[in-house]
Amino acid sequence: MDQLVIRGGRQLSGEVRVSGAKNAALPLMAAALLSEEPLELDNAPRLVDVRTIGRLLRHMGVEVAGEGTPTIRLRASTVRRPEAPYDLVKTMRASVLVLGPLVARIGRARVSLPGGCAIGPRPINLHLMGLERLGATIRLNQGYVEAEAARLKGARIAFDLQTVTGTENLMMAAALAEGTTILENAACEPEVEDLARLLNAMGAKVEGAGTPTIVIHGVPSLGGAVHRIIPDRIEAGTFAIAAAITGGDVVLRECRPDHLEAIAAKLEEAGVRLQAGQDSLRVTGAGRARAVNVRTQPFPGFATDMQAQMMALMTVADGRSVITEAVFENRFMHVNELLRLGADITIAGNTAVVQGMPALLGAPVMATDLRASACLILAGLAAQGTTVISRIYHLDRGYEVIERKLTALGADIERVRA
């Protein structure tokens, strides 16, 4: 298994290109199931999760080409096997995104129920509730969700909490339903909006994506499309903190500053200087950051996917910071690892109190999930001495060549075989 070895204390500087968004690419690829015609997705990130959903789609009979390059081509002329097996779903929960498109296109689906997760229980009850509201019958059989419907029928669906992949699943299902669907309290994430853009390019009639009310007028069939995936706002935010935590000066290229507003506001409050261009963001660390309080929220609030990275910055900030995780129940697995680097953090329920220290000291640590891995890299970049991160396979699921991008900015980081 690979490890990352980081010798901390170097200021980062230069330019880094932000890759296409993982959490946009996955639903966009699943949308290929909705049409017989080809889809072409540009600006695709080279990630393990993208390969996993590619494997899943191929398993169902979809032609998939170009993973590992910036252009992925997909064509679901026929769907031979409308099934997402446990082996694939257990490695990537986003596999559940095939459920809505399968029921809508071919009237049935068999999708393994995702099991537990390192960041919380993460049920999919709202995905299932929504499909039932659209007329599907759902049953659980030997760990699999089995869904069936002759043709889905539009309905009003009110989510009792905002769910990103739940909104995406139902938006895709409703695109081919008969009549109009209204999703209320829908997720407003840019990735939801990106999916709506693709669906509309395929001939769907989706209005209001990016707001809490999405109206979908169902159409009988969808065509092909060419679509450019939005930049990854979480990767961009992670590099912004890399600049801040090392007192560096980094320009993020090909990003969307309008998707980064909550992160930017917190960084500015912490004393980090930001300069937004049309599709770039310059981040300049000015001495030690000030402690700020953070509460995670659905978009446009501060993203839970940036909580661990922000905590890394707060471990070396001046003062005491209160970080509240309000989206997931158990997303503080990185805290015990940060303690090994000398951080001062106390957890009570979903709140972490971080007393900033003048410095961290490198140590061996273990990554527990994707964003926790990113947090440990950031802490390692700031720490004195050497930090060795193991279990970095999580990282390859969601960050494209992160150590190469950091090396190009002047970090001393290398991937080694354990």
Residue closer to ligand EPU by CB (options 145, 251) is 145
**Given candidates 328, 366, 395, 406, which one binds ligand EPU under the rule CB under 6 A?**
328
Q: In the set 74, 126, 366, 402, which binds ligand EPU (CB under 6 A)?
A: 126
The stretch among 79-87, 159-167, 264-272, 348-356 that binds ligand EPU (CB under 6 A) is: 159-167
Between 128 and 157, how does the x/- string for binding to ligand EPU read (CB under 6 A)? ------------------------------
**Binding range to ligand EPU, per CB under 6 A, among 119-127, 173-181, 344-352, 408-416:** 119-127
**335 makes contact with ligand EPU (CB under 6 A):** no
Task: Establish if 230 lies at the interface with ligand EPU (CB under 6 A).
Answer: no
Q: 188 φ, ψ to 5°?
A: -110, 10
Minimum CB distance to ligand EPU smaller for 30 or for 206: 30
Torsion of CA 228, 233, 235, 239, to 10 degrees: 130
- Is residue 302 near ligand EPU by the rule CB under 6 A? no
* Options 12, 18, 29, 164; binder of ligand EPU; rule CB under 6 A: 164
Contact 214, 183 (CB under 8 A): yes
Q: Does 120 bind ligand EPU (CB under 6 A)?
A: yes
Site string for ligand EPU, 252-291 (x = CB under 6 A): ----------------------------------------
Per CB under 6 A, 304 contacts ligand EPU: yes
Residue from the set 26, 267, 323, 365 that interacts with ligand EPU by CB under 6 A: 26
117 given a catalytic annotation: yes
Phi/psi at 226 (nearest 5 deg)? -115, 135
Of 161, 226, 265, 286, the residue at the interface with ligand EPU (CB under 6 A) is 161
Interface pick for ligand EPU out of 35, 112, 163, 238 (rule CB under 6 A):
163
Q: How far is the CB of 197 from ligand EPU (least distance, A)?
A: 16
Q: How far, CA to CA in Å, does 119 sit from each of 151, 337, 366, 380?
A: 35, 15, 15, 22
SS in 3 state form for the chain?
CEEEEEECCCCCEEEEECCECHHHHHHHHHHHHHECCEEEEECCCCCHHHHHHHHHHHHCCCEEECCCCCCEEEECCCCCCCEECHHHHCCCHHHHHHHHHHHHHHCEEEEECCCCCCCCCCCCHHHHHHHHHCCCEEEEECCEEEEECCCCECCEEECCCCCHHHHHHHHHHHHCCECEEEEECCCCCHHHHHHHHHHHHCCCEEECECECEEEEECCCCECCEEEECCECHHHHHHHHHHHHHCCCEEEEECCCHHHCHHHHHHHHHCCCEEEECCCEEEEECCCCCECCCEEECCCCCECHHHHHHHHHHHHCCECEEEEECCCCCCCCCHHHHHHHCCCEEEEECCEEEEECCCCCECCEEECCCHHHHHHHHHHHHHCECEEEEECCHHHHHHCCCHHHHHHHCCCEEEEEEC
Q: Which is nearer to ligand EPU, 326 or 339 (CB)?
A: 326
The smaller minimum CB distance to ligand EPU, of residues 323 and 327, is found at 327
Question: Cβ 129 to ligand EPU, closest distance in Å?
Answer: 7
CB of 289 or CB of 323, closer to ligand EPU: 323
Chosen residue from 194, 235, 305, 325 binding ligand EPU by CB under 6 A: 305
Q: Which amino acid is at 44?
A: A
Tokens 């969601």: give the residue.
Answer: 398
Q: Which is nearer to ligand EPU, 231 or 398 (CB)?
A: 398
* Residue 120 or 212 with smaller CB distance to ligand EPU: 120
- Minimal distance, residue 379 CB to ligand EPU, in Å: 18
- Candidate list 127, 133, 227, 259; residue touching ligand EPU; CB under 6 A: 127
Whole-angstrom distance, CA of residue 5 vs CA of residue 151: 54
Judged by CB under 6 A, which of 125, 137, 221, 346 binds ligand EPU? 125
Q: Which residues bind ligand EPU (CB under 6 A)?
A: 23, 26, 94, 120-127, 161, 163-166, 187, 191, 304-305, 327-328, 370-371, 398
Residues identified as active-site = 117
